[in-house]
C-alpha cells in the first residue's frame, strides 16, 4: 500500500465479518466439524471502508449503534483483524476504551498502570516516573490500590484515559469514553484533548454532537458498515441528524447478510 509522509492511517476496501449462530448447538458443531462445513452465517460489520487520516487530523466518527464504528477502531488499534482489505497505521496508538477493556480485574489500579504502560511500549522506569501524574489525572484516590473489580465503569474509564494521556502517543482514539464520566472529568479530558491536537492525531467517536463540533475538523458518517458521508463536521452532522429524524431504525441491519 503506497502512502505519503503525512499519512498516518489508511484503509483500503476494509471489511469485517462476524459469525452468527442460530443456537449453541450450531456453535458446538462449528467447533467440532468446522474444518468440513460452516455452520454459521456472516454478519458484515464493515463493508469496503476506504479511509485516509493525515498527521494532525482530528476526525469524528458518527453512526447509529451497531453501524461498525467500534469495529473500525478495533481494527486500527490491532485488537481484531479485518476479514478483507488492508489497514496501515504509523505511530503509537493510545486507545482509551480499548485499553480499559483489557484491564485485569483482579489487579489493582497501580498494577494495571504498569501493565498498560508495558503493553504500550513504555519501560517500567518511564511508567513509574509518570505514575503520580497519572494518579492525579485519574482522580480516583485510594482506589488506585484496590482491585479493578471494585471500580465503577466511570472509574475504569478515568484510569484508562489517564494512562493514555501520559504515553506520548501519535494517535489518540476515544470511543464514547467521555459519556461515562462526570461533568468535571469530561471538562478535564476535553481540555487535554484540545492540547493533544496541537501535535497529535485524533479519532473521536461520540453521540455528543457538541463535542464532535468542538474537537473535530473532519467527520465520517458510517451507516450499515459503509461510509455514507464525510467532510465538514457541521454539514455531516446536519445530514446525520436529519437521517435520524426521518429514516426508520431498521432492526434488519443486525441480521446476517452477504457482503
Measured CA to CA in angstroms, residue 252 lies from 66, 135, 256 at distances of 11, 45, 9
Q: What's the pLDDT at 102?
A: 77
Q: What's the pLDDT at 48?
A: 95
Contacts of 6 (CB under 8 A, 6+ apart): 54, 55, 56
Cα distance between residue 1 and residue 86, in whole Å? 8
103 SS3 class: coil
The torsion region of residue 5 among left (phi > 0), alpha (psi -120 to 50) and beta comes to alpha
Q: Report all structural domains of the chain as residue ranges with CATH numbers, in order of start.
A: 57-83+91-254 (3.40.50.300)
Digitized pLDDT (tens) for each residue of the chain, 259 residues in all: 555 778 999 999 999 999 888 888 888 888 888 788 887 888 899 999 999 999 999 999 999 988 999 899 999 988 899 999 999 999 989 888 767 777 899 999 999 999 988 888 889 999 999 999 999 999 999 999 999 999 998 899 899 999 999 988 999 998 876 766 678 888 888 899 999 999 999 999 988 899 999 999 999 999 999 999 999 999 999 999 999 999 887 666 656 565 6
Contacts of 195 (CB under 8 A, 6+ apart): none
Residue 56 is given by DSSP the state T
95 SS3 class: strand
Is beta strand 41-54 parallel, antiparallel or unpaired with respect to 201-205? Answer: unpaired
Q: What's the pLDDT at 44?
A: 92
Query: Count of CB atoms within 10 A of residue 150's CB?
Result: 11
Cα distance between residue 249 and residue 251, in whole Å? 6
Q: What's the pLDDT at 32?
A: 85
Amino acid at each position: 500500500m503506497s502512502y505519503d509522509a503525512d499519512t498516518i492511517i489508511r484503509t483500503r476496501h476494509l471489511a469485517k465479518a462476524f459469525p452468527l449462530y442460530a443456537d449453541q448447538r450450531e456453535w458446538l458443531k462449528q467447533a467440532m466439524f468446522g474444518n468440513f462445513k460452516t455452520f454459521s452465517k456472516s454478519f458484515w460489520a464493515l463493508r469496503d471502508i476506504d479511509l485516509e487520516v493525515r498527521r494532525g487530523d482530528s476526525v469524528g466518527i458518527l453512526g447509529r449503534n451497531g453501524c461498525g464504528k467500534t469495529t473500525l477502531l478495533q481494527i486500527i488499534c490491532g485488537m481484531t483483524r479485518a476479514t478483507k482489505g488492508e489497514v496501515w497505521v504509523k505511530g503509537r496508538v493510545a486507545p482509551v476504551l480499548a485499553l480499559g477493556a483489557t484491564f485485569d480485574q483482579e489487579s489493582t489500579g497501580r498494577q494495571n498502570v504498569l501493565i498498560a504502560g508495558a503493553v504500550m511500549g513504555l519501560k517500567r522506569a518511564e511508567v513509574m516516573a509518570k505514575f503520580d501524574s497519572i494518579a492525579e489525572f485519574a482522580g480516583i484516590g485510594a482506589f488506585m490500590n484496590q482491585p479493578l473489580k471494585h471500580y465503577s465503569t466511570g472509574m475504569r474509564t478515568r484510569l484508562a484515559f489517564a494512562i493514555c494521556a501520559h504515553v506520548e502517543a501519535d494517535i489518540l482514539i476515544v470511543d464514547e469514553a467521555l459519556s461515562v464520566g462526570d461533568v468535571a472529568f469530561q471538562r478535564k479530558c476535553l481540555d487535554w484533548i484540545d492540547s493533544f491536537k496541537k501535535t497529535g492525531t485524533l479519532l473521536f467517536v461520540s453521540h455528543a454532537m457538541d463535542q464532535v463540533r468542538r474537537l473535530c475538523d473532519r467527520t465520517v458518517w458510517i451507516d450499515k458498515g459503509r461510509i455514507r458521508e464525510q467532510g465538514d463536521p457541521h454539514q455531516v452532522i446536519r445530514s446525520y441528524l436529519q437521517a435520524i429524524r426521518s429514516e426508520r431504525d431498521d432492526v434488519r441491519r443486525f441480521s446476517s447478510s452477504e457482503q
